């Protein structure tokens, strides 16, 4: 890990690192917020996965999460959304919903994507091992995300309930096997066998395996992607049918933006703190 930038923030430290990733076969950057408590003892961490077109800097610069994270004594680990670099393949038409900036937190199996687009392995294994070895972090983790990153947080948390204490999401893509964003990404990254898509679909996972970790979802009802892409009612139904510990909070007047995230990030951080601490 090489430090790129550092700034004092709400008493803690906001740091950007870069490193060579074995999972992604490229150079990666990620951001970390360490609360002031981390200067004296190890602290638990919330991993936040961002959405389409984003990098690690969107959440770190727009959400205002550091204030409450410092109060609670939580670290924030904020990865990028896809592999990066000139050697990494991208969508030929540079569409915003596929290729760089749109890794969908899966392990690609199709050429030419498989060599670099292994974001699932990176988030689950490589990045935690790296930061927990070199930063003052415990091995207690929670996971959250927004939009495509909300999909990633749900899937990764559901598939790795032994590694996380809790899951949350803003405006997640809940049922990507049945929406345009997911169908485009999955058919390219994973091929046309839809059975290979289901392990990366939160609704399919809950329907098959149930749900044990506590989940909190926040969704704005003025979100332009609500009906076609996000489908929160399907996640709510899956949780109810599984008798799972989960809640979907619907908010009148809020959209898909970081204004929405900034409005409810404190509620999500306090939700995770109950389980992490």
User: In order along the chain (277 residues), what is the average pLDDT of each group of 10 residues?
Assistant: 98 98 98 98 98 98 98 98 97 94 98 98 98 98 98 98 98 98 98 98 97 96 98 97 96 98 98 97
Give the per-residue pLDDT at 272.
98
Domain count for the chain, please give it: 1
Catalytic entry in 21, 23, 147, 166: 147
Active site residue 275: no
Hey, which residues does 250 pair with through a beta bridge? 219
pTM beyond cutoff 0.85: yes
CATH code, domain with 250: 3.40.50.1820
Catalytic entry in 151, 201, 223, 272: 223
The boundaries of the domain holding residue 249 are 2-276
Contact 72, 273 (CB under 8 A): yes
Contact 176, 187 (CB under 8 A): no
pLDDT digits (tens, 9 = 90+) for 50-66: 999 999 999 999 999 99
Q: How many helices (H) and strands (E) does the chain have?
A: 9, 9
Active site residue 256: yes
Q: Residue 274 has what DSSP assignment?
A: H
Q: Which residues of 173-204 are buried (b: 16+ CB within 10 A; e: fewer)?
A: bbbbebbebbebbbebbbeeeeeebebbbbbb
pLDDT digits (tens, 9 = 90+) for 21-36: 999 999 999 999 999 9
Give the per-residue pLDDT at 94.
87
Q: Is the bond preceding residue 112 a cis peptide, omega within 30 degrees?
A: yes
Q: Give all strands of the β-sheet with 246-251 in edge-to-edge order.
A: 2-9, 12-21, 26-34, 75-79, 43-49, 137-146, 167-170, 215-220, 246-251
pLDDT digits (tens, 9 = 90+) for 158-200: 999 999 999 999 999 999 999 999 999 999 999 999 999 999 9
Task: Render 203-228 in DSSP notation, one character per residue.
Answer: HHHHHHH---S-EEEEEETT-TTIII
Contact 275, 214 (CB under 8 A): yes
Catalytic entry in 116, 151, 256, 272: 256
Q: Which of 214, 215, 220, 216 is nearest to 263 (CA)?
A: 220
Active site residue 272: no
């Amino acid at each position: 890990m090489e430090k790129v930038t550092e700034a004092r923030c709400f008493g803690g430290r906001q740091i950007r690192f870069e490193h060579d990733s074995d999972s992604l076969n490229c150079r990666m950057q990620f951001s970390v917020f360490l609360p002031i408590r981390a200067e004296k003892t190890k602290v638990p961490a919330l991993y936040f996965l961002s959405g389409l077109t984003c990098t690690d800097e969107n959440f770190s610069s727009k959400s205002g999460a550091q204030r409450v994270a410092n109060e609670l004594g939580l670290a924030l680990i904020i990865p990028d959304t896809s592999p990066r670099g000139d050697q990494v393949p991208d969508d030929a038409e540079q569409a915003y919903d596929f290729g760089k900036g749109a890794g969908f937190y899966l392990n690609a199996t199709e050429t030419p994507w498989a060599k670099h687009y292994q974001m699932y392995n990176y988030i689950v294994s490589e990045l935690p091992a790296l930061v927990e070895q070199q930063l003052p972090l415990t091995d207690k983790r929670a996971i959250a995300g927004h939009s495509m990153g909300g999909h990633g947080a749900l899937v990764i948390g559901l598939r790795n309930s032994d590694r996380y204490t809790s899951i949350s999401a803003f405006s997640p893509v809940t049922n990507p096997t049945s929406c345009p964003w997911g169908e485009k990404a999955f058919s390219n990254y994973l091929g046309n066998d839809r059975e290979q898509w289901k392990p990366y679909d939160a609704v399919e996972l809950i329907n098959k395996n149930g749900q044990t970790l506590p989940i909190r979802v926040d969704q704005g009802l003025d979100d332009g992607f609500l009906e076609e892409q996000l489908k929160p009612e399907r996640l709510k139904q899956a949780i109810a049918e599984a008798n799972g510990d989960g809640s979907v909070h619907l908010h009148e007047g809020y959209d898909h933006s970081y204004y929405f995230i900034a409005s409810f990030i404190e509620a999500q951080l306090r939700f995770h703190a109950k389980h992490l601490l």
